[in-house]
Amino acid sequence: MATLWETNAGEIVKALSAERRIAGAVAFGVVLTLVLVVDERRAEEAMAAAAEGAAAHPCRLLVVIRRRPDASAARLDAEVRVGGHLGTSEAVVLRMYGRLARNAESVVLPLLAPDSPVVTWWYGPPPQKTGVDPLGALATRRITDTAQAANPLRALKERGADYSPGDTDLAWTRCTPWRSVLAAAFDSITGQPATARVEAEIGNPSAALLAGWLKCRLGIEVDSASSAGPGITEVSIRVDPAQDILAEDAGGDEEPVEIRLTRHDGRTAVLARSRQPERYLPLARRETGDLIGEELRRLDADQIYAATLAATTGRRIAATPPTASQISRGASNRRSSPPPRTPREATIERAARTRQGRAD
């Protein structure tokens, strides 16, 4: 590990390759850059989770820690870590003081691994507009976690209002095992979904998303109920016999079928289906590292999440990537003074606004 005081991106790049040589890692196998935005006091736990997720996807981990943004002098301290518990990954912890904290992308940009995807993960409250935040705009995927918010359901609404392709939320990732079991159960069901109900701890964003997913896929309203938890405790769906001829020909059930998936201990679930014996299956709550591992597996926009978020929050979601003008406008919102622009950039930006019928 190398520690650099009052440094800059150029020196960090040098330190990184020096560390890599010392560690004996000759080949460069990093497939993506993970930018982790976190508070000093939660940095270690977040990095441990990131390292676990990165075990499956070697990455360059850039940890952005903003300290004393109102300090008068801008300063950058860095720690460079290669190998060890990070496996084949490498990490740079960046501590930014003063005004630099508000221009973090100036340090992050030169440190991105060449020509590979960038994922930004806010461990803690995300910025208002993740897609136009400078650290969010440079990423192809943006990871938030509404479950950490003081009011998760309101945070989910904000995610819905803010959505841009490439967004994802760990509350959604936590749904995957539930969705997987439910989808498998539906493989052998014929009929018309009639009612559905999701029961969970009060204010659980994953339950809201799961209900939104069912609503969006099955085309029915989904009831919510509260329980003592932990997390989601039960999902039940009733499917009535099919009414149209086509489905009858396919040989459907003649009586309603009810599927009930229950989990009270956060570890093992019971799957009950009408006229069939109950089945037990492992359905454990997952660690953050595991969730990050799943998120890093795919690096394109998750359209199912977008549709689900729309159904959950009742907002229409823009499916097109933010335009250049939105990004630069958003970026300028965050700064105290507008960023310097080249004449060419200004022209492009004006043209983009004109196209949207909002010429200045």
Partner 1 sequence: MTEQVPVGAGVTVGARGLANPLRDPRDRRLPRVPDPCAVVVFGITGDLARKKLIPAIYDLANRGLLPPGFVLLGFARRDWETGDFEAMAHDAAKNGARTPFREDVWRRIAESVRFIPGSFDDDNAFDLLAQTLIDLEATHGIAGNAAFYLSIPPAAFPLVLKQLARTKMADNDERGGWRRVVVEKPFGHDLPSSRELNALVDEVFTAQDVFRIDHYLGKETVQNLLALRFANSLFEPTYNNHYVDSVQITMAEDGGIGGRAAFYDSAGAARDVLQNHLLQLLALTAMEEPVAFDADALRVEKLKVLGAVSLPADLEGDAVRGQYAAGWQGGERVPGYLEERLIPPHSRTETYAAVRLGVETRRWGGVPFYLRTGKRLPRRVTEIAIVYKRAPHLPFTATDVEELGRNQLVIRVQPDEGVTLRFGSKVPGTTMEVRDVAMDFLYGEAFTESSPEAYERLILDVLLGDATLFPRHEEVEMSWRVVDPLEEYWANTTPQAYPAGTWGPRAAEEMLAAEGRSWRRP
Enumerate binding residues for partner 1 (CB under 8 A): 27, 29, 31, 55-58, 87-88, 173, 176-177, 179-193, 214-220, 239, 242-244, 246-247, 250-252, 267-268, 271, 273, 276-277, 279-282, 284, 293-294, 298, 302-304, 306-307, 310-311, 317, 319-320
Task: Between 275 and 344, name the residue whose CB sits nearer to partner 1.
Answer: 275
**CA atoms lying within 13 Å on the CB side of residue 192:** 10
- Distance CA(308)–CA(285), nearest Å, equals 21
Do 94 and 64 touch, CB atoms closer than 8 A?
Answer: yes
Report in angstroms how near the CB of residue 51 gets to partner 1 at its nearest. 12
- Distance CA(241)–CA(67), nearest Å, equals 61
Report in angstroms how near the CB of residue 123 gets to partner 1 at its nearest. 21
Encoded tokens for 154: 């309101």
- Distance CA(53)–CA(58), nearest Å, equals 9
Task: Between 75 and 215, name the residue whose CB sits nearer to partner 1.
Answer: 215
Q: Which amino acid is residue 16, in one-letter code?
A: L
Going by C-alpha positions, the residue among 285, 188, 197, 284 that lies closest to residue 235 is: 197
Report in angstroms how near the CB of residue 210 gets to partner 1 at its nearest. 11
How would you list the strands of the sheet with 2-4, edge to edge?
2-4, 75-82, 90-97, 59-67, 32-38, 118-123, 141-144, 167-169
Task: Between 9 and 56, name the residue whose CB sits nearer to partner 1.
Answer: 56
Report in angstroms how near the CB of residue 294 gets to partner 1 at its nearest. 7
Task: Between 199 and 302, name the residue whose CB sits nearer to partner 1.
Answer: 302
Report in angstroms how near the CB of residue 50 gets to partner 1 at its nearest. 14
Encoded tokens for 153: 């359901």
Report in angstroms how near the CB of residue 37 gets to partner 1 at its nearest. 24
How would you classify the pairing of strands 59-67 and 75-82?
A: unpaired
Report in angstroms how near the CB of residue 288 gets to partner 1 at its nearest. 17
Task: Between 97 and 178, name the residue whose CB sits nearer to partner 1.
Answer: 178
**CA atoms lying within 13 Å on the CB side of residue 167:** 33
Report in angstroms how near the CB of residue 333 gets to partner 1 at its nearest. 26
- Distance CA(259)–CA(193), nearest Å, equals 11
Do 111 and 117 touch, CB atoms closer than 8 A?
Answer: no
Encoded tokens for 138: 């440079």
- Distance CA(54)–CA(291), nearest Å, equals 11
Task: Between 108 and 185, name the residue whose CB sits nearer to partner 1.
Answer: 185
Report in angstroms how near the CB of residue 145 gets to partner 1 at its nearest. 17
Task: Between 219 and 343, name the residue whose CB sits nearer to partner 1.
Answer: 219
How would you classify the pairing of strands 167-169 and 75-82?
A: unpaired
Encoded tokens for 64: 């952005």
Q: Three-class SS of residue 87?
A: coil
- Distance CA(161)–CA(138), nearest Å, equals 20
Task: Between 95 and 179, name the residue whose CB sits nearer to partner 1.
Answer: 179
Task: Between 58 and 127, name the residue whose CB sits nearer to partner 1.
Answer: 58
